[in-house]
Amino acid sequence: MLRELSLGERTVSQLAEPFAMSLAAASKHIKALESAGLIHREVRGRTHMCRLAPAPLAGAHHWLTFYERFWTDRLDALERLLREDDARKRPTPKAPKTTKRGVKS
């Protein structure tokens, strides 16, 4: 629903349409988004118009970006350590043995 609202204002019916849900369920979901401060709803006659409230999403994006960098750095370090560990455990190829006559076996 938030993605749809990023394209512009929508009615409750328009927001519910792509999902397999009743208007009552969509309205309940929209009320939760409204309580979270993610959307604004305006009643125009009998029609409820919804629009995105982007400010809280920008704050969440900023917070998530920090943790994305944090975990990416940690996972990159873990990958390096695992590759180094695998390289140490890998047996080194042995040179073929030579006989007294200098023939390789």
Average pLDDT rounded to a whole number, residues 72-98: 85
Cα radius of gyration rounded to whole Å, the chain: 30
| % pLDDT > 70, the chain | 88
Look up the pTM and report it. 0.58
| Separation of alpha carbons 35 and 2, rounded Å | 14
Share in percent of the chain as helix, strand, coil (round to 5): 55, 15, 30
Spacing of C-alpha 86 from chain mean position: 30
Alpha helices in 6-102 (DSSP H): 12-16, 23-35, 54-89
Q: Which residues pair with 52 in a beta bridge?
A: 39
One-letter amino acid at 82 equals: L
Q: How confident is the model at residue 38 (pLDDT cuts 50, 70, 90)?
A: very high
**Which CATH fold topology does 2-52 show?**
Arc Repressor Mutant, subunit A (1.10.10)
Phi-psi region of 75 (alpha: psi -120 to 50; beta: other; left: phi over 0): alpha
Domain assignments of the chain as residue spans, ordered by start? 2-52, 54-89
